[in-house]
């Protein structure tokens, strides 16, 4: 599959706000998000593993105050930014659905898969 442009690399600050983007998850419209953590970019479907609600507190705000974990604004579940593994809260042991992102020429690009695809225009 072809890659999809998400944002410029410098739009993601270490431990800062993420960038949301529209996706189709199965037959549902949804959002994905990308953050910078530990020097790398990490992207996930914006859906809590406990109950399928979006994670961010305000648009793009996925990390809790220490910047060490992704936190669900609804249930307080905490996820490891590099793996999406839930290490605390009601979905402990579950994980977020990881999306394949890379940085190429100062751009963050996403490679869709069979389940999470771009929204058709």
User: Range of 71's domain?
Assistant: 4-114
Percent of all residues in the chain with a pLDDT value above 90, rounded to a whole number: 87
Integer Cα distance of 64 and 78 in angstroms: 8
Sorting pLDDT into bands at 50, 70 and 90, what band is 91? confident
- CA nearest 68: which of 50, 51, 81, 87? 81
Q: Has residue 88 got a pLDDT over 60? A: yes
| CATH code of residue 53 | 2.102.10.10
Within-domain flag for 121: no
Give CA separation, 49 vs 7, 10, 22, 52, in Å: 25, 29, 19, 7
Count of structural domains, the chain: 1
Q: What is the pLDDT of residues 27-50, one digit of tens each?
A: 999 999 999 999 999 999 999 998
Total Cβ atoms within 10 A of residue 88: 13
Q: What is the pLDDT of residues 54-82, one digit of tens each?
A: 999 999 999 999 999 999 999 899 999 99
Strand-by-strand arrangement of the 86-88 sheet: 70-71, 78-79, 86-88
Could you tell me the pTM of the whole model? 0.95
Within-domain flag for 120: no
């Amino acid at each position: 599959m072809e890659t999809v442009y998400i944002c410029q690399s410098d739009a993601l600050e270490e431990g800062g706000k993420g960038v949301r983007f529209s996706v189709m998850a199965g037959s549902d419209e949804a959002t994905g998000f990308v953050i910078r953590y530990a020097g790398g970019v990490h992207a996930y479907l914006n859906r809590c593993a406990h109950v399928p609600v979006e994670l961010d507190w305000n648009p793009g705000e996925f990390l809790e105050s220490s910047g060490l974990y992704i936190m669900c604004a609804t249930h307080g579940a905490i996820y490891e930014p590099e793996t999406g593994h839930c290490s605390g809260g009601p979905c402990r042991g579950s994980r977020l659905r990881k999306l394949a992102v890379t940085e190429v020429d100062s751009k963050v690009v996403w490679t869709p898969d069979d389940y999470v695809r771009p929204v058709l225009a």
